[in-house]
Structures are given as structure tokens and as C-alpha cells.
């Protein structure tokens, strides 16, 4: 005689048996795909745990700075690879390695040298009585002699009295590099320079800006990393840029320069909402006619980026060629507005890049506290 089970127990036993039968049927139906999915999850888990063990080992063997440098170099080697490997390394590195990403003095000086060369050519043409294209870059023969045929000649796109625009193809790509040489006489160099650098003011005068903020600052060079999200013409998605910029003001030689270029930063991962622009460079040099605080200056802007559109080359060229003058005019009008309405704009000339204010110091200290207090990775149009 078998012991008599209560009805509830019998029902539970029958339900369990039915569930087991269903699971067995599902496994038979899923077959190899289900088995492979289970195996992939198992292997991924093992690799994550192994990576954590390696990170803990290096944490015991190396100092904080050495560990960040090692992981940073490994992350930069793998950051271009899609998928979980790049994301995992970015998380493990958790810090931006300034030693290899900051803008160097040589980059600033190259931009200033280009401005000097155009000024010298302008003087030569004016002394010979030639006015047209007086600031045009070197001819094809001169360019080839200087660069060993590595660079294409500049082509004039727009020629106005106080505004000249050239372009040249970027070798191996369907893109162009652009160069603008212009003059303003109704604002001061200091005002124009400050308005261009002030991120908070730009959010007010540039309607295309969705987001613009400083991510991190370098206490050695004064370079800073920014995240910029901007609207693009319909039907294109908005674009976002992560770039490092550095500026320099040389009052003795009466010149100021701003250099920017795209970088990768682990605290700003790519978002599915925007298209990340990974190729971007900009150099702006300003030469006052008299002084920083008197109206009148010349400027040289050299610019290139890859907006990653599917439009033909001539369409992209048209958008950039027309968009650049529009942006510069918006920048000029914003400078006039700040001047006439006495809008408060941060003075970047008096406050040297290395003279970080209380806000910048607080940001840096907060970032350091996060790095020291956590066991995981630290959280930390035209630009």
C-alpha cells in the first residue's frame, strides 16, 4: 500500500512533472542554438571574472599612475574594435591618459607659422600691386616642393573683400580640408576670442547646440576635453564630438591661437541617439591689427571633419562651404551683442589656461576623489 498523498501535494507533483516535461521538450526543440547561447554566456562570464582578477593583480603590483597608464595604452589599442572588447577595456582603463592626448606646443606653433606665412605672402603681393588673391596659399608647385607631393593644392572657393575661403582634398578620402582668412574691424580680438571659448555663452547664441560641456582638464598644459552635441540638417541625425582643445595667448608677439582635435574619452561612450564624429581638426589664429583691446584683427581658420554622411562629396562640400561663413557670422554677431549689451563673458586672456579657477579646481579634486574612493573604473556646426 502506498501512502496516500493530500490532493494539494498530488497537484504540485503533477505540475512539477509537467514543467520538467516542457523544459525537456524545449531543450529538444531549441537544440544546438540553445546550447551555443548557454555556452557563450558561460564563456563571457569566465572572461569578465578573469579580467577582474587581472585588474586586482595589477592593482597589487603597480602604483595607481602606472596602472592607469598601462590600461590606458591597452584601451587605445583596442578602442577602434567594435563590440564588448572595446567597451570592457574602456571600463577597465577608466581614465584619460593626458601624456599622449594633450595638445603640444608644436601644434600651436605650426598654426602660428601658417598665419605668418600668409601674412608674408600678403605683403609681397601688396608691394607688387597685386590685390586679387593676395592671401592665397602657395601654388601647386610650391606646395609640392614643400611637402614632397603629399598634399594637394588649395582651391579658391569664395573670394570677398574681408573673407576668403579655400579647400583642398584630403588624400585617401572623399573629404576636403578648408581654410578661411578673414578680417573684422568692429570688435576687439579679446572679445572675439573669449566668445569663441565661452561654452556657457555659446549655448545661448548658437541654436544648434544640444549639449556642450567640459569633461576634463589637464593641469599640465591647460588642455581640456569637451563633449559637444549639435543638430544637423534634417533628415540627418544629430552629431556628437569629443575633442581636446588648447589655447595660447602671446601678448609679446601679438597673437592668439586655439587648436582642437577629436579624441576618445572613456567617460563619454558612443550613444545610439547621435552619430559620433571621430575625425575632426580645427586651428584658429588671431592677429590683432593693434592690440587685444582695440577694434580690428585678422584671423586664419583651418578646419576639417568627417560628418559620416551618405551624401555625395559635392553635397557635403556645399554644406561645409556654406555653413562655415554662416557660423563665423553668427560668432561675429554674438561678439557684437556681448560688446553692445555688455554681456558677461569669461576673459580667457587674463586667466591663463593653467590658472584654473575655483570651479575647475573643484572639478579636478572631485574627479580625483572618485578615482581614489572607488574600486571600479573612475566615472568621470564648428567648435
Residue 85 has pLDDT above 60, yes or no: no
**For position 7, what pLDDT does the model report?**
53
Range with lowest mean pLDDT among 238-242, 263-267, 305-309: 305-309
DSSP 151-168: SPPPEEEEE-SSEEEEEE
Strands (E), the chain: 155-159, 163-169, 176-184, 209-217, 224-230, 239-250, 255-262, 275-277, 280-288, 297-305
Confidence class of residue 148 from pLDDT cuts 50, 70 and 90? very low
117-126 long-range contacts, CB within 8 A, separation 24+: 118/181, 118/300, 119/287, 119/298
Residue 360 has pLDDT above 60, yes or no: no
Asked if residue 235 has a cis previous peptide bond (ω within 30° of 0), the answer is yes
Confidence class of residue 175 from pLDDT cuts 50, 70 and 90? confident
Q: Residues 122-149: what's their mean pLDDT?
A: 48
For the chain, give the mean pLDDT: 75
**For position 84, what pLDDT does the model report?**
47
Helix, strand, coil % over all residues of the chain, rounded to 5: 45, 20, 35
Question: What kind and span of H or E run contains 56?
Answer: helix 7-61
pLDDT digits (tens, 9 = 90+) for 181-227: 999 999 999 999 999 999 999 999 999 999 999 999 999 999 999 99
pLDDT digits (tens, 9 = 90+) for 320-330: 667 788 899 99
Residue 264 has pLDDT above 80, yes or no: yes
Record the cell numbers describing residue 211, joined without a space.
549639449
Residue 300 has pLDDT above 90, yes or no: yes
**Pairing status of strand 275-277 against strand 239-250:** parallel
**For position 141, what pLDDT does the model report?**
37
pLDDT digits (tens, 9 = 90+) for 7-52: 555 555 555 555 555 555 555 555 666 667 667 666 666 766 676 6
Domains and CATH numbers, the chain: 30-93 (no CATH), 102-363 (3.30.530.20)
Q: What is the b/e burial string over 131-151, where b = at least 16 CB atoms within 10 angstroms of the residue's CB?
A: eeebbbbbeeeebeeeeeeeb
208 half-sphere exposure, CB direction, 13 A CA radius: 18
Percentage of the chain with pLDDT > 70? Answer: 56
d(CA 223, CA 99): 11
Record the cell numbers describing residue 40, joined without a space.
557563450
Q: Identify whether the C-beta of residue 381 lies closer than 8 Å to the C-beta of residue 323.
A: yes
Between 348 and 94, whose confidence is greater?
348
Alpha helices in 226-312 (DSSP H): none
Find, among 367, 373, 271, 377, the residue nearest to 51 by Cα: 377
Q: Residues 125-146: what's their mean pLDDT?
A: 46
Q: What is the pTM of this model?
A: 0.66
Amino acid at each position: 500500500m502506498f501512502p496516500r498523498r493530500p490532493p494539494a501535494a498530488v497537484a504540485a507533483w503533477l505540475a512539477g512533472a509537467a514543467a520538467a516535461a516542457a523544459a525537456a521538450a524545449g531543450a529538444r526543440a531549441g537544440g544546438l542554438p540553445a546550447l551555443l547561447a548557454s555556452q557563450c554566456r558561460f564563456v563571457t562570464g569566465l572572461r569578465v571574472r578573469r579580467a577582474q582578477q587581472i585588474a586586482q593583480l595589477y592593482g597589487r603590483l603597480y602604483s595607481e599612475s602606472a596602472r592607469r597608464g598601462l590600461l590606458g595604452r591597452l584601451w587605445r589599442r583596442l578602442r577602434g574594435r567594435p563590440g564588448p572588447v572595446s567597451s570592457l577595456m574602456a571600463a577597465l582603463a577608466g581614465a584619460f591618459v593626458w601624456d599622449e592626448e594633450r595638445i603640444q606646443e608644436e601644434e600651436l606653433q605650426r598654426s602660428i607659422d601658417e598665419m605668418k606665412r600668409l601674412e608674408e605672402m600678403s605683403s609681397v603681393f601688396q608691394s607688387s600691386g597685386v590685390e586679387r588673391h593676395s592671401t592665397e596659399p602657395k601654388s601647386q608647385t610650391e606646395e609640392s616642393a614643400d611637402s614632397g607631393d603629399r598634399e594637394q593644392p588649395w582651391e579658391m572657393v569664395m573670394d570677398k573683400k574681408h573673407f576668403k575661403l579655400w579647400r583642398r582634398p584630403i588624400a585617401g578620402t572623399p573629404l576636403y580640408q578648408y581654410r578661411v582668412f578673414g578680417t573684422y574691424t568692429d570688435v576687439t580680438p579679446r572679445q572675439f576670442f573669449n566668445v569663441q571659448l565661452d561654452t556657457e555663452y555659446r549655448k545661448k547664441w548658437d541654436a544648434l547646440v544640444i549639449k556642450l560641456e567640459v569633461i576634463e582638464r589637464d593641469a599640465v598644459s591647460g588642455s581640456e576635453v569637451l563633449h559637444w552635441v549639435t543638430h544637423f540638417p534634417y533628415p540627418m541625425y544629430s552629431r556628437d564630438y569629443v575633442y581636446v582643445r588648447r589655447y595660447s595667448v602671446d601678448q609679446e608677439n601679438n597673437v592668439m591661437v586655439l587648436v582642437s582635435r577629436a579624441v576618445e574619452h572613456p567617460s563619454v561612450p558612443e550613444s545610439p541617439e547621435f552619430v559620433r564624429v571621430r575625425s575632426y581638426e580645427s586651428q584658429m589664429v588671431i592677429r590683432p591689427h593693434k592690440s587685444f583691446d582695440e577694434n580690428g584683427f585678422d584671423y586664419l581658420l583651418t578646419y576639417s571633419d568627417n560628418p559620416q554622411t551618405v551624401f555625395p562629396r559635392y553635397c557635403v562640400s556645399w554644406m561645409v562651404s556654406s555653413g562655415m561663413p554662416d557660423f563665423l557670422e553668427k560668432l561675429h554677431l554674438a561678439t557684437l551683442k556681448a560688446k553692445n549689451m555688455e554681456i558677461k563673458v569669461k576673459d580667457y586672456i587674463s586667466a591663463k589656461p593653467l590658472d584654473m579657477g575655483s570651479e575647475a579646481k573643484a572639478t579636478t579634486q572631485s574627479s580625483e576623489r572618485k578615482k581614489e574612493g572607488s574600486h571600479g573604473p573612475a566615472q568621470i556646426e564648428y567648435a
